[in-house]
Chain A
Amino acid sequence: AQSVTQPDIHITVSEGASLELRCNYSYGATPYLFWYVQSPGQGLQLLLKYFSGDTLVQGIKGFEAEFKRSQSSFNLRKPSVHWSDAAEYFCAVGARFGNEKLTFGTGTRLTIIP
């Protein structure tokens, strides 16, 4: 069965600073990987996804993530955060081959300080 670990429950970053959110997954084959963002009181928005090919994936809002098979990781990065990035971020792994469903991590809450 697949699983996702987001080791950081809460991260605080100064506006303009760089950001890295960690995600580790467990899956028996090459996974589908996703990052979603949830602003307070809102639904889920897809930031980016990895299916195959280039291991560095660009997403919306200036985010990127890098798939590292050897480390079973898919960390999310942004070079300079904005106050509007304050939200909760979820990493998810998708099963393949006829059993397609998403398994989510427990999330990382991001606080931005001026």
Chain B
Amino acid sequence: DADVTQTPRNRITKTGKRIMLECSQTKGHDRMYWYRQDPGLGLRLIYYSFDVKDINKGEISDGYSVSRQAQAKFSLSLESAIPNQTALYFCATSDSSLDSTYFGPGTRLLVL
């Protein structure tokens, strides 16, 4: 089984719809992260969590929210999707030293 799984892998939605991207990990790590990738911009951090009671905004959190349901699960929500949220989204998990960082396979989101 994969260390980090993301569902769905691909999603097409319409402007104004609410959408949730889910991430789960089997590494037992406390730290989990959501990034988005856009061509020419690299990966940018949306939100991160160091444990179930600790949620932090990244550099581009506007328009997004997250939920850390358990140590192993970290969900990203778009409350009202807009076209410029079309991107590839990656979930990641890490130990406290960043020595072991694992990325999920990505979710490709298209907002029409």
A44–B103 contact, CB under 8 A?
A: yes
Query: Which of B19-27, B61-69, B76-84, B89-97 lies on the face that meets chain A?
Result: B89-97
Nearest CB of chain B from residue A46's CB, rounded to whole Å: 7
A-B pair count, CB < 8 Å, reads 49
A102–B42 contact, CB under 8 A?
A: no
Assess A100 versus B58: contact at CB under 8 Å? Given A43-B106, A44-B90, A46-B101. Answer: no
In chain A, what residue has the closest Cβ to B43? Answer: A104
Which of chain B's residues have a CB closer than 8 A to the CB of A101? 33, 45, 48, 58
* B side interface size, CB within 8 A: 24
21 A–B contact pairs at CB < 8 A?
Answer: A9-B40, A43-B106, A44-B43, A44-B103, A46-B101, A49-B99, A51-B97, A51-B99, A94-B98, A100-B96, A100-B98, A101-B45, A101-B48, A102-B33, A102-B43, A102-B92, A102-B101, A103-B45, A104-B35, A104-B44, A107-B40
| Complex A-B, nearest 5 residue pairs according to Cβ-Cβ distance, in ascending order | A106-B42, A104-B43, A94-B98, A104-B42, A44-B103
